[in-house]
Structure 1
Amino acid sequence: MPSPSNDHATTPATTVSLLNLDRPKPHNPEAEIAVLGAMMISPDAATAAFSSLKFEGAFYRPAHQIIFDAMLALSADKGNASMDPVILADHLERSGRLEEVGGRSYIVQLMDSVPTAANIDHYLDIVRQNAVLRRIISTCTDTIIHCYDCDEDVHQLLDGIEQRIFEVSGMNESKDLLTIQPLVEDAVTYLEKLIDGNPDVLGLSTGYEVDRMISGLRPGDLFVLAARPSIGKTALALNIAANIAMGAKPVPIGFFSLEMPAQQLVLRLICSTARVSLSEFRNKTLSNSGWMDTLRACDMLRKANIVIDDTGAIDILELRAKARRMSNKHGVKAIFIDYLQLVRAHTNRNASRENEVSQISGALKAMAKELSVPVVVLAQLNRQAEQGEKPKLSHLRESGAIEQDADVVAILHREREKQLSQKEDDGAGLDAELIIAKNRNGSTGTQELLFFPRFTRFENKSRISEADIPDQ
């Protein structure tokens, strides 16, 4: 039996040897030659190759990558002429790389090696798949070596690994080059639908009339919902999340609850959806109709795809890792975070709070773009927001980085004192305002709402009538 010391004696070099990673990585030289040759004889083949292989390390042989990069560099100035072997050779000679790729004779040989470009898609697929395999091997090898000789925090290491895996996934996706004519036609169709209020061209609907200002929650956007404590920002976030997850076109959402346990979050969702008060259960005053409404709400929530994580004081790197898993495993289309000031930054001990918030908000914006989903993050306002005037952007705690990174900043405002004078069983709504203080792609303004503290629920003020208010 080997001694324990031998178990820990493995080094990066022996790891590579054990895994036999010193052998040539996957490649197909004939397919690479076929791609370059087809590009020289067919402009369409060149266009397809530029779209499919425009990433680092697409070709295994360095000479082939140099030739491809030269074609790409020339294409903007020369157009289809950039594929001409004479012009290509001249460009490589002036850049001092002609002999490096095998000289003029090798460039001509590439063109002569392919009689037709009809099979370009097949050639491209072979080259791209081998490039993906090589990148996976490199990522896994680097990961193994870093794990043996890790000089950074494990959370940072995991975040970096997951980010590189996502980059590898993107290599296998290609986009065609586009001309402006069909894009203009698509734009006109989009504008027509926008005028008609077609929901297909809007972001995810919040369920509130504020959608007219912000065009819904759009993929890649960072939406900040800010308020002072006990104003109802968690309630509004839950209402929006429920509207998305249980709307006319329900979609999966993820909810990070740093302050409230998952069970309590679900109880609030049930009561808000059913329009009943939790105190009615405690006081045993719930009516039969209220119980039936509760059961219907439970049935609706069972069918909804809502993923909850209630890790307290979560690290931003751990949050991003979990968000990626939510996206991969559950296909979430929107992520809610309650709330920003409870997220921990991964900084050194001497970093200021402003630096921490800057890292957090920047990471959340990057996460929204990486996952292509809207990220709704709740935030606290400072005490100055309660000094007589309506709250504004400068009242955000550590506001500089949040203002910069956010695409939309919505500030929830209402008179908190009116709720204090309201009886527990009072079902009347209280006036509230949702102030759109920043909107990168639209207008700013104020949307009036009604808040029902008894049910922790917000409604559009313009759509509420006496018949909509539950019996008291």
Structure 2
Amino acid sequence: MAENKRNTNKNTPQTAIPEIGRLQPQARELEEAVLGALMLEKDAYSMVSEILKPECFYEKAHELIYAAIVDLALSQRPVDMLTVTEQLKKRGDLETVGGAFYISQLTSKVASSAHIEYHARIIAQKYLARELISFTAMIQGKAFDETIDVEDLMQEAEGKLFEISQRNVKKDVTQINPIIKDAIELLQKAALQTEGLSGLRTGFDGLDKITAGWQNSDLIIIAARPAMGKTAFVLSMAKNMAVSFNLPVALFSLEMSNVQLVNRLIVNVCEIPGEKIKSGQLAPYEWEQLDFKIKELYDAPIYVDDTPSLSVFELRTKARRLVREHGIKCIIIDYLQLMNASGMNFGSREQEVSTISRSLKGLAKELNIPIIALSQLNRGVEARQGVEGKRPQLADLRESGAIEQDADMVCFIHRPEYYKITEDERGNSLVGLAEIIIAKHRNGAVGDVRLRFKSEFAKFMNVDEDVPVQEFTSSMAINGSDTPLPIAPKAPDFLTSVNKNEMPF
């Protein structure tokens, strides 16, 4: 009987949600008060324009009235009972909202706009609650559908939730005094540094001098054509930051597995050719060299994630946790074009890349750390002729001009030797040299920095840092001969000084 009574109750509002039997969050009286205040006070719209959109209103009539008010405000016409009535008439919505009589009733229900901003925020909160209810109901319905892949559904859920959160992100303005205080503190901190750096050191002296270190909240794009050494560059930098300066760094590798990435780090640190690390065919002195140098990597604050096809929403979740739990100071992504924004609809790949780059910039600001994203360049570089023609340009950034727009800094890696250019215009050798071209620097100077690149070790270093690797007498000084010794088939016993079970390769 209870069921029949509930179904036949004439007083049951039509706005009830059948699945849960509750009314949707709403604030009809506040909607009326806000609309009335907007038509009474000429400056009222400026107080709520950033808080409310027409769809925030629960009542359809109120949504149409507010849309008419927005039209008037955007065309810089006065907003009052008469002009709103006339605008609704032009839109063909006057009778739908209840006619001129209903408009006059709204103005009679409020005395002033004194609390209009507070009321508007409540309306916006109710709208957000309705959006979340609709979102969860949609996800719940799809979760019961066994034909839908759960992983795809999770990606879609993340995307939709991100859209809702971004739609409602608002930040109040700040009076300048506390900002001045923060700026002075940063200035004093930089002054205490002997190098005069205010940001994170990379270990590349020339680059640090131009940039003053990677700055918090910056999105830094490092771009190059394939085979230029993008991954080698950021791995060399990550090693410098984590090992030399004890700065926690997170590496998101969408292209390589964790083991492949760590093998590259081992090649970089131990200066043993990569093909030998892959095959394990090391000479005895190389095993000793490995044993001696790999200790630098143990306990280094480097955190690696090799999730393939990482979405920008997954990255946000993981990055927040890394900063909270491990105090990460810098995030590196290899590389941007392999990311996606699953769960959101885009007309083109360019629009998706734009969303990704914009989200990365937003994340850098939110976490207040630099985010470094590698990026591919298009083939325009290959088509150009001459020494200068091979130098990358901002127009060469692949898939989206938004990358250039969103980035605080864009750096290119250029190795003239790759294009068989072995001398500069002055006849100086370019063999083994790489240029880091700072093409965009929102908060500083642009310029070029030369580094040395040791291709056999996938390693970048300062030009004046090319010191021969320490020679180990146990293997290289036998009878004064430099003749290579036979390749050892396995690691010698002295490698037990490092726990073999923890070796990352």
What is the TM-score when the length of structure 2 is the normalising length?
0.61
Instruction: Map 1:384-399; keep pairs closer than 5 Å.
Output: 392=390
Letter matched to residue 374 of structure 2: V
Alignment of 1:298-313 (within 5 A): 298-301=298-301, 306-311=303-308
Alignment partners' CA distance in 2, 1:65 and 1:177: 28
1:367 to 347, 353, 356: 356
Query: What SS is found at the alignment partner of 1:52?
Result: coil
User: What code does the residue aligned with 1:277 have?
Assistant: E
Distance 1:164 1:335, change over 3 A: farther
Distance 1:290 1:411 in 2: 29
Shift of 1:65: 1.5
The equivalent position to 1:74 in structure 2, one of 63, 72, 75, is 72
SS in 2 for 1:114: coil
- The answer on whether the counterparts of 1:258 and 1:310 sit within 8 Å (CA) in structure 2 is no
- 1:328–1:63 Cα change, 3 Å: farther
Query: 1:142-221 maps to which residues of 2 (within 5 A)?
Result: 142-147=138-143, 157-175=153-171, 208=204, 209=206, 212=210
2:162–2:313: 8 Å Cα contact kept in structure 1? no
Provide the rounded CA distance (Å) in 2 between the counterparts of 1:297 and 1:32: 61
- The yes-or-no answer on 1:25 pairing with 2:24 is yes
Equivalent residue in structure 2 for 1:326, among 294, 301, 318: 318
Q: Which residue of the other structure, out of 214, 224, 229, is the alignment partner of 1:226?
A: 224
Does the 8 Å contact 1:262/1:310 carry over to 2?
Answer: no
Offset of residue 245 of structure 1: 6.8
Q: 1:145, CA displacement in angstroms?
A: 3.8
Give RMSD over aligned pairs: 5.5
Q: Is the 8 A contact 1:129 1:172 kept in 2?
A: no
1:451 aligns with 2:465: no
The one-letter code sitting in structure 1 at the alignment partner of 2:412 is A
- Which amino acid in 2 is paired with 1:26? P
Change (3 A) 1:234 1:265: same
Identity level (%): 25
Higher mean C-alpha deviation, range 213-222 or range 330-339 = 213-222
Structure 2: distance between partners of 1:33 and 1:251: 53
Q: Number of aligned pairs?
A: 410
Q: Distance in 2 between matches of 1:18 and 1:98?
A: 29
Q: Specify every segment of 5 or more residues in structure 2 that has no aligned partner in the other structure, as ranges.
A: 1-15, 365-370, 405-409, 421-429, 472-505
* Structure 2 residue aligned with 1:141: 137
Question: Which amino acid in 1 is paired with 2:224?
Answer: A
1:239 alignment partner, SS class: helix
Q: Structure 1 residue aligned with 2:95, among 71, 96, 99? A: 99
Deviation readout 1:1-26 (Å, 9 max, x if unpaired): xxxxxxxxxxxxxxxx9971575311
1:233-252 aligned within 5 A: 233-241=230-238
What amino acid sits opposite 2:135 in the alignment?
T
Secondary structure of 1:30's counterpart equals helix
Residues 247/52 of structure 1: CA separation in 2 closer, same or farther (3 Å cut)? farther
1:70–1:88 contact (8 Å) kept in structure 2: yes
Residue 73 (structure 1) shift: 1.9
Displacement of 1:369: 0.9
Partner of 1:47: 46
TM superposition shift of 1:431: 3.4
Q: Report deviation, 1:72.
A: 1.9
Contact 1:252 1:330 in 2 (8 A): no
Give me the whole-angstrom Cα distance separating, in 2, the residues matched to 1:244 and 1:19: 57
Summarize deviations over 1:241-268 as a string: whole Å, max 9, x none: 4567789895764412422x31443454
Contact preservation (8 Å) 2:223, 2:230: yes
User: Is the 1:381–1:395 contact (alpha carbons within 8 Å) kept by the matching residues of 2?
Assistant: no
TM-score (norm 1): 0.64
Query: What residue number does 1:87 align with?
Result: 83
Q: What residue ranges of structure 1 are gaps of 5+ in the alignment?
A: 1-16, 347-357, 419-428
- Identify the residue that residue 57 of structure 2 maps to in structure 1: 59
User: For the pair shown, which has the larger CA radius of gyration, 1 or 2?
Assistant: 2
The CA distance in 2 between the partners of 1:241 and 1:337, in whole Å, is: 12
2: distance between equivalents of 1:74 and 1:247? 61
Q: 2:253 aligns with which of 244, 251, 256?
A: 256
**Alpha-carbon distance in 2 for matches of 1:448, 1:26:** 61
